[in-house]
Amino acid sequence: MNKHTVFVAGKRFILLSDDKEEYVKKLAEDVSSAISNIIAENPSLDRRSAALLCALDYADDKEKEKLRNKSLSDKAQPLIAQADKQSKQIKELSEIVQKKDEEIAALKERLKQLSIKDLQTEAKEVPVSEEKADENTQEESEEAVQDKPEKPIGRKKKKKNKGYKPIRQYSLFDNEKD
């Protein structure tokens, strides 16, 4: 404990406190100022009566703050309960997501294994020599050429008539020859 010397309403006090000296002096100044304000408003009061009124004001403020804190605490309880519930839901959902991720990874691995086995099975079932593969390629390309319809060479596409015929303009001088 530290000793602190402070002045309140002109009287010297020695206080023992674990708090810092600046804090204790600030409290003493606040109390001294409050007592001075009470005396200024009621000049007929002595210092002792002013100090008692100051103590009553501080006790009143303290009780009002307790009620305010309790009210805020009561309002916070449902919010805290809701936050806890949502936290549990988040935890459950993250576990579900983790399980689903593991299932997806297992399915991908299984699919990969099946694809490899299918490819190996197909390779064993259909032995194709290089000569036969070349023949198949040539036959496929010949079939593709035969399937395409031939376009007539040198034919131009007719333009579609859009519902009007061009008007030919005649001149009076068309029949005359120079």
Residue 93 included in any domain: yes
**CA–CA gap between residue 133 and residue 129 (Å, rounded):** 6
pLDDT at 77 over 60: yes
pLDDT (average), residues 144-161: 56
In the chain, the number of structural domains is 1
Q: Is residue 98 part of a domain?
A: yes
- Asked whether residue 151 is domain-assigned, the answer is no
Q: What is the mean pLDDT of residues 113-120?
A: 76
CB atoms closer than 10 angstroms to residue 109 = 10
CB 6 within 8 A of CB 13: yes
Say if residue 120's pLDDT is above 80: no
**Residue 3: per-residue pLDDT:** 93
- Interacting residues of 19 by C-beta distance below 8 A, sequence separation 6+: 2
Q: Does 142 map to a domain?
A: no
pLDDT of residue 178: 47
Examine residue 40 and state whether it is found in any structural domain, yes or no.
yes
Task: Report the alpha-carbon distance of residue 57 to residue 41 in Å, rounded.
Answer: 14
Task: Read off the pTM.
Answer: 0.46
More confident residue, 138 or 95: 95
pLDDT at 113: 83
Higher pLDDT, 173 or 99: 99
Confidence of residue 4 (pLDDT cuts 50, 70, 90): very high
Beta strands in the chain (DSSP E): 2-8, 11-17
Position 148 confidence tier, pLDDT thresholds 50, 70, 90: low
Range(s) of the domain holding residue 45 = 2-124
Q: Cβ-count burial of 51 within 10 angstroms (0-12 exposed, 13-18 middle, 19+ buried)? A: buried
Q: Calculate the alpha carbon distances from 94 to 44, 60, 99, 104, 135 in Å.
A: 72, 50, 9, 15, 58
In a domain, 136, yes or no: no
End-to-end alpha carbon distance in the chain: 133
pLDDT band at 121 (very low <50, low <70, confident <90, very high): confident
> How high is the mean pLDDT of the chain?
81
Residue 76 vs residue 136, higher pLDDT:
76
Q: Judge whether 167 lies within some domain.
A: no
**Which phi and psi angles does 166 have, rounded to 5°?**
-65, 140
Block residue for tokens 């409290």? 27
Whether residue 139 lies inside any domain: the answer is no
